[in-house]
Copies of this chain bind each other. A is one copy, B any other.
Amino acid sequence: MKQIPERSVTEILDIRRKYLNPNMSVSYQQPLKIVRGSGQYLFDDNGIRYLDMVNNVCHVGHCHPRVVAAGTEQMRTLNTNTRYLHDLLAEYTLRLTAAFPDPLEVCFFACTGTEANDLAIRLARAATGGRDIICVEHAYHGHSPALIDISPYKHGSAGGEGAPEYVRTAPVPDIYRGLYREDDQHAGQHYAQHVSNICDSLDNSDRKLSAFFCESLLGCGGQIILPDGYLKAAYQAVRQHGGICVADEVQVGFGRVGTHMWAFEQQGVVPDIVTLGKPIGNGHPISAVITTRKIADAFMNGMEYFNTFGGNPVSCAIGLAVMDVIDEEHLQQHALATGGYLLEQLYQLQPAHELIGDVRGAGLFIGIELVSDRHSRQPAANRAEEVVEKMRHRGVLLSTDGPDHNVIKIKPPMPFNKADADLFLTEFDAVLNAIG
């Protein structure tokens, strides 16, 4: 391989500015040149180690040797498309579908979460004959034209043009900041009632519902855990009106929530369509859609769905290795224990720091919402950014999210352990003390 020139941070930033997508952000005021990854750690060009608490994509750990070996071996042997038969495609299909409850049994392979959600739209429309979609406030489902339409996080913010006529938006089921709060024991049902009302209003118009899209935990919405009963009641309403229920697990699937393999299981529901992405290939571009026989059959209208790279043998080898590692290293159970520990410690830390308005999480998916005043819950966006910047200089990588940019987002590679949690807690406590 040709030698790649080593460039300084300044030189790389200059090349990015001149020749690369200007809408691509760089993390941190003082950007990091990351050159190596291992497990839950990243290393910069000065050999400094960072505890990675934000890159959920490299799910089983950066450069996991088992995953690298599987990918390498298959890259050497064959990488072609699904128009030929291959053992790896068959095996991966069996493994992946076996991880879902009935009647989720038919699998489609694609390359990105965006492709998966775009396909889910097509499946839902084919199955219902409807076109309209209900999404949730602040939701993000992808960057294609169709997915920006159903992502208020995009179409409702800078540069966005609002929701098109076929999209209806339900209030975000956020019990800390939303319409119904932690003091409402039936908040889940109350939020779901809005979904039901939208269904009713569609019935009373000349429009027709196709699908309700909801992330099983809300990422860009601010690391939000759905209130009990929300999906159950919302799904019931959607189905009564002939709609399809889509669970977007692109961010949160594959054991991250600890108690289950899939976050929708925590809500006691079975979706009609589940979309998978990010962690599925530990960084390799893989995605999948899992659905029912009935919906898959309705999609058989004569139009082929062929995805050039989707389901190729290299992707299947890598996807299988990721599932093997999750099993063998008991990463789901590990996420439950480690996430539970971290959450408990954060609860204990909260009284000492006025800034910590809310702490919430499921397994290794945790949000810390910063406020300037606990009573008014005024978002403290600048403080959240300050914390993230200061933590970076103390060797811990985090980021912020939520509509007010005041939620510290925690979703580390799954090998993240108790010692890492302790390191984070010590530094976090110190940073909060320092900024007052």
Per-residue CB proximity of A55-83 to B under 8 Å, as 1/0? 10110001100101111110111111111
A317 to B3, CA, bound (A): 11
Interface SS of chain A: helix, strand, loop or mixed?
mixed
Q: Chain B residues near A15: list those with CB within 8 A.
A: 90, 93-94
The answer to whether B146 and A145 touch across the interface, beta carbons within 8 angstroms, is: yes
**Given known A-B contacts A21-B305, A37-B79, A1 and B321 have beta carbons under 8 A apart:** yes
Interface set, chain A 10-62, CB cutoff 8 A to B: 11-13, 15-16, 18-27, 31-37, 42, 55, 57-58, 62
The answer to whether A12 and B85 touch across the interface, beta carbons within 8 angstroms, is: yes
A252 to chain B, nearest CB (A): 14
User: Which chain B residue shows the least CB distance to A154?
Assistant: B303
A135 to B278, CA, bound (A): 33
Q: Which of A31, A82, A107, A317 has the most CB of B within 10 A?
A: A82
The answer to whether A5 and B63 touch across the interface, beta carbons within 8 angstroms, is: no
Interface set, chain A 283-325, CB cutoff 8 A to B: 283-285, 296-297, 299-309, 311-312, 314-315, 317, 320-321, 324
Q: Is A115 in the interface zone, CB < 8 Å from B?
A: yes
Which of B7, B84, B299 is within 8 Å of A34, CB to CB?
A: B84
The answer to whether B309 and A108 touch across the interface, beta carbons within 8 angstroms, is: no
A70 to B11, CA, bound (A): 23
The answer to whether A34 and B86 touch across the interface, beta carbons within 8 angstroms, is: yes
Which of B20, B62, B110 is within 8 Å of A78, CB to CB?
A: B62
The answer to whether A88 and B4 touch across the interface, beta carbons within 8 angstroms, is: yes
Q: Is A394 in the interface zone, CB < 8 Å from B?
A: no
A155 to chain B, nearest CB (A): 9
The answer to whether B33 and A83 touch across the interface, beta carbons within 8 angstroms, is: no
Q: Chain B residues near A31: list those with CB within 8 A.
A: 84-85
The answer to whether A73 and B285 touch across the interface, beta carbons within 8 angstroms, is: no
Q: Chain B residues near A11: list those with CB within 8 A.
A: 90
User: Which chain B residue shows the least CB distance to A33?
Assistant: B85
A282 to chain B, nearest CB (A): 8
The answer to whether A146 and B144 touch across the interface, beta carbons within 8 angstroms, is: yes
Per-residue CB proximity of A244-288 to B under 8 Å, as 1/0? 000000000000000000000000000000000110001111000
The answer to whether A143 and B106 touch across the interface, beta carbons within 8 angstroms, is: no
Q: Chain B residues near A62: list those with CB within 8 A.
A: 78-80
Q: Is A184 in the interface zone, CB < 8 Å from B?
A: no
Which of B18, B25, B77 is within 8 Å of A63, CB to CB?
A: B77
The answer to whether B1 and A66 touch across the interface, beta carbons within 8 angstroms, is: yes
A399 to chain B, nearest CB (A): 8
The answer to whether B4 and A91 touch across the interface, beta carbons within 8 angstroms, is: yes
The answer to whether B277 and A4 touch across the interface, beta carbons within 8 angstroms, is: no
Q: Chain B residues near A304: list those with CB within 8 A.
A: 23-25
The answer to whether B307 and A87 touch across the interface, beta carbons within 8 angstroms, is: no
Q: Chain B residues near A282: list those with CB within 8 A.
A: 79
A40 to B66, CA, bound (A): 30
Q: Is A122 in the interface zone, CB < 8 Å from B?
A: yes
The answer to whether A73 and B1 touch across the interface, beta carbons within 8 angstroms, is: yes
A324 to B2, CA, bound (A): 8
A433 to B395, CA, bound (A): 72
Nearest 10 CB-CB pairings of A with B: A158-B302, A159-B303, A159-B301, A79-B283, A145-B146, A285-B285, A159-B302, A34-B84, A285-B309, A118-B144
**Which residues of A does B touch, CB under 8 Å?**
1-2, 4-7, 9, 11-13, 15-16, 18-27, 31-37, 42, 55, 57-58, 62-63, 66, 68-73, 75-91, 93-94, 97, 105-115, 118-119, 121-122, 126, 143-146, 148, 154, 157-160, 277-278, 282-285, 296-297, 299-309, 311-312, 314-315, 317, 320-321, 324
A-B contact pairs, 21 of them (CB 8 A): A1-B66, A4-B87, A7-B90, A12-B87, A15-B94, A16-B93, A24-B304, A26-B84, A55-B80, A62-B79, A63-B78, A79-B284, A110-B112, A112-B285, A114-B118, A122-B148, A126-B159, A144-B145, A145-B145, A157-B302, A158-B302
